[in-house]
């Protein structure tokens, strides 16, 4: 089974008045249009996963993240039995350090969300299985298999370890 290499990077910040927040975005074009998603995308030829994560955050939200400021949050394998060409091997990263303020791009409208109140009903259905674990500082190892509709989750197998 071949999978497209993809990265997601979640910027995290503390708000004294409300608690920890994560930067997500409303997808404007392409795969997942209309959904709230993490910042990220395909790993280009010759790039490492970390390089791709930094590039994608810059392209999608105008924020500079350095590779040394990325923390490994694990991996999610997405399996689309009805569309095997959509299979993705996704490396997850978090970061608490970056430069710049998020700005809208042609692809993403960035928005901060409380980690305690993630907009799961507006995200891909799989996010509820692994995203809270990754944002809590765990390293996640998940395999998400989608149903024939390519939207809903048929099965979610995952483990995690605290760091």
The domain limits of the chain are 4-162
β partners of residue 140:
74, 160
Question: Using an 8 Å Cβ cutoff, are 124 and 39 in contact?
Answer: no
Which helix (H) or strand (E) segment holds residue 59: the answer is: helix 49-61
Q: What is residue 126's predicted lDDT score, i.e. its pLDDT?
A: 94
The alpha carbons of the chain give a radius of gyration, in whole angstroms, of 15
Backbone φ, ψ for residue 44 (5° rounding):
-80, 160
pLDDT (tens digit per residue) in 29-84? 988 899 999 999 999 999 999 999 999 999 999 999 999 999 999 999 999 999 99
d(C-alpha 69, C-alpha 98), whole Å: 8
Residue 105 neighbours by CB under 8 Å, 6+ apart:
59, 60, 61, 62
Q: What is residue 163's predicted lDDT score, i.e. its pLDDT?
A: 80
pLDDT (tens digit per residue) in 120-156? 999 999 999 999 999 999 999 999 999 999 999 999 9
| Residue 1: pLDDT over 80 | no
CATH of domain 4-162: 3.90.79.10
| Residue 7: pLDDT over 90 | yes
Q: What is residue 2's predicted lDDT score, i.e. its pLDDT?
A: 85
Q: What is residue 31's predicted lDDT score, i.e. its pLDDT?
A: 84
Residue with tokens 């507006």: 122
Compute CA distances 93 → 19, 85, 150, whole Å: 20, 24, 24
Average pLDDT rounded to a whole number, residues 5-24:
96
Residue-level length of the chain: 163
Question: Using an 8 Å Cβ cutoff, are 110 and 24 in contact?
Answer: yes
């Amino acid at each position: 089974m071949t999978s497209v290499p993809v990265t997601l990077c979640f910027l995290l910040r503390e708000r004294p008045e409300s608690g920890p927040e994560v930067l997500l975005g409303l997808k404007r074009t392409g795969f997942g249009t209309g959904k709230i998603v993490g910042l990220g995308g395909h790993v280009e030829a010759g790039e490492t996963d970390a390089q791709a994560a930094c590039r994608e955050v810059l392209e999608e939200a105008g924020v500079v993240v350095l590779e040394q400021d990325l923390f490994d949050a694990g991996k999610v394998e997405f399996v689309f039995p009805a569309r095997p060409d959509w299979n993705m091997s996704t490396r997850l990263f978090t970061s608490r350090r970056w430069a710049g303020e998020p700005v809208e791009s042609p692809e993403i409208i960035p928005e901060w969300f409380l980690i305690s109140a993630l907009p799961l009903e507006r995200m891909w259905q799989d996010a509820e299985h692994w995203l809270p674990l990754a944002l809590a500082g765990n390293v996640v190892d998940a395999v998400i298999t989608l149903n024939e509709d390519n939207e809903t989750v048929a099965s979610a197998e995952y483990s995690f370890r605290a760091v």
